[in-house]
Amino acid sequence: MAKIFCVANQKGGVGKTTTAVNLAAGLAKLNQRVLLVDLDPQGNATMGAGINKAELKSSIYEVMLGMADVATARVRSEAGRFDVLPANRELAGAEVEMVELDNRERRLKDALAAVGEEYDFMLIDCPPALSMLTLNGLCAAHGVIIPMQCEYYALEGLSDLVNTIKKVHAKLNPDLKIIGLLRVMFDPRMTLSQQVSSQLEQHFGDKVFRSIIPRNVRLAEAPSYGMPGINFDPSSKGAQAYIAFGAEMIERIKTL
């Protein structure tokens, strides 16, 4: 059965999508079977995987509302060599339409179960909000990967996220764990980055991943070419860091 991880942080622009897409590509390079689940109406993970969100036949929206199954809605990222359950702005409507449905926080979990045997990993790219969509992600997952920038305000929203994860663990999904905090867009020349980074290590110990993702322009350029950074420029520092993170994840899941 696939191990399922949410990439979540309710802060916007902290590197969730870049992490989800490049971890998917990194794991695929390490011969893992991967499904990338785009749970954000922005559809950035879909586009970053090289799939045109404007031309989807069906998407995660239909899946969440029970009008399509995952096997029908998924598409292949040829660039990244993984499958994608794609999203576009239609998904924003699902939030409202789901209000009337039973088990509305478990729609995604139930849908993904049907293809669980076909993958080693499923990675869910969450939107920047603690919404019903994110709740569906947290209910479906075994663990959460939290990307963080090492800046002054980084820790500010973290307690809200940690409390939400604790509540979901207690009430809805006893499997759910924080797998780790991932330091992203890291700039080793900044003293503040170094300071926040060591504070994180002191505070959260081995919940902080060893891998650190540097700020690297190739990762930011890749989506406009419809490719994960890992495939766009495999020798770049950013690509290398996400491959190392993929290897660290494969190691981590053995201890789950």
CA dist 121 and 140 (Å) reads 13
Would you count residue 67 as binding ligand ATP (CB under 6 A)?
A: no
Residue 47 binds which of ligand ATP, Mg ion, none (CB < 5-8 A, kind-dependent): none
Sort strands 143-149 and 121-125 into parallel, antiparallel or unpaired: unpaired
Sort strands 177-186 and 143-149 into parallel, antiparallel or unpaired: parallel
Sort strands 143-149 and 3-7 into parallel, antiparallel or unpaired: parallel
The DSSP bridge partners found for residue 121 are: 3, 34
In the complex with ligand ATP, which residue's Cβ is closer, 180 or 238? 238
Would you count residue 219 as binding ligand ATP (CB under 6 A)?
A: yes
Would you count residue 4 as binding ligand ATP (CB under 6 A)?
A: no
Would you count residue 53 as binding Mg ion (CB under 5 A)?
A: no
Q: For ligand ATP, which residue of 29, 107, 109, 215 counts as binding (CB under 6 A)?
A: 215
Candidates 52-60, 67-75, 194-202, 211-219 — which segment interacts with ligand ATP by CB under 6 A?
211-219
Size, binding site for ligand ATP by CB under 6 A:
19
Largest CA distance in the chain: 51
148: tokens are: 């963080």
Interaction residues for ligand ATP, span 95-134 (CB under 6 A): 128
Would you count residue 138 as binding ligand ATP (CB under 6 A)?
A: no
On whether the CB atoms of residues 219 and 238 are closer than 8 A, the answer is yes
Give me the least distance between CB of 77 and ligand ATP, in Å please. 16
Would you count residue 29 as binding ligand ATP (CB under 6 A)?
A: no
Interaction residues for Mg ion, span 14-33 (CB under 5 A): 16-17
Candidates 9-17, 65-73, 104-112, 154-162 — which segment interacts with ligand ATP by CB under 6 A?
9-17
On whether the CB atoms of residues 4 and 110 are closer than 8 A, the answer is no
Sort strands 75-77 and 82-85 into parallel, antiparallel or unpaired: antiparallel
154: tokens are: 């980084």
Would you count residue 12 as binding ligand ATP (CB under 6 A)?
A: yes
221: tokens are: 């350029």
CA dist 1 and 55 (Å) reads 31
3-state secondary structure of 44: helix
Q: For ligand ATP, which residue of 6, 41, 44, 84 counts as binding (CB under 6 A)?
A: 44
Residues at the contact surface with Mg ion, assessed by CB under 5 A: 16-17, 44
Residues at the contact surface with ligand ATP, assessed by CB under 6 A: 12-18, 40, 42, 44, 128, 184-185, 213, 215-216, 219-220, 238
